[in-house]
Amino acid sequence: MKDIVLNSKGTASTTVNENNFAATMGSGSLNVFATPAMVALMEAAACDCLAEYLDDGETTVGTSMDIKHIAATPDTMKVTAEAVLTGVNGREFTFEVKAYDECGEIGCGTHKRFLVFSEKFTAKTYEKLNK
């Protein structure tokens, strides 16, 4: 991994549609932006933040997410998540994450990711099938 800079930022965006409704994703019964979709968008923003620092064969996996979903977002509205790197502890990265729709903040919290080596991680995971 290349030297990483604290306070680096990453973003990810999507548009609310039937694929990310709470009713579709099983996290509620309404046709509004689902909390799991917001979490995934926040993770994507954190991945975007780290992308330029990773070497070949490296990736990160999410290990912790502590968020609040504070406002609903309707169909067709754009949602953007932002992740700011606030801490590095060895191979663990901590982010402040926020999500916004076109009217303001809809979610916030903290997220942690851990650096892994893709081939080794995948091989270890699939060893479970042999047990």
**Residues designated as active site:** 35, 43, 69
Instruction: Kindly give the pairing relationship between strand 78-89 and strand 92-101.
Output: antiparallel
Q: How far is Cα 108 from Cα 129, in angstroms, rounded to an integer?
A: 37
The secondary structure of the chain, three-state, reads CCCCCCCCEEEEEEECCHHHEHHHHCCCCCCEECHHHHHHHHHHHHHHHHHHHCCCCEEEEEEEEEEEECCCCECCCEEEEEEEEEEEECCEEEEEEEEEECCEEEEEEEEEEEEEEHHHHHHHHHHHHHC
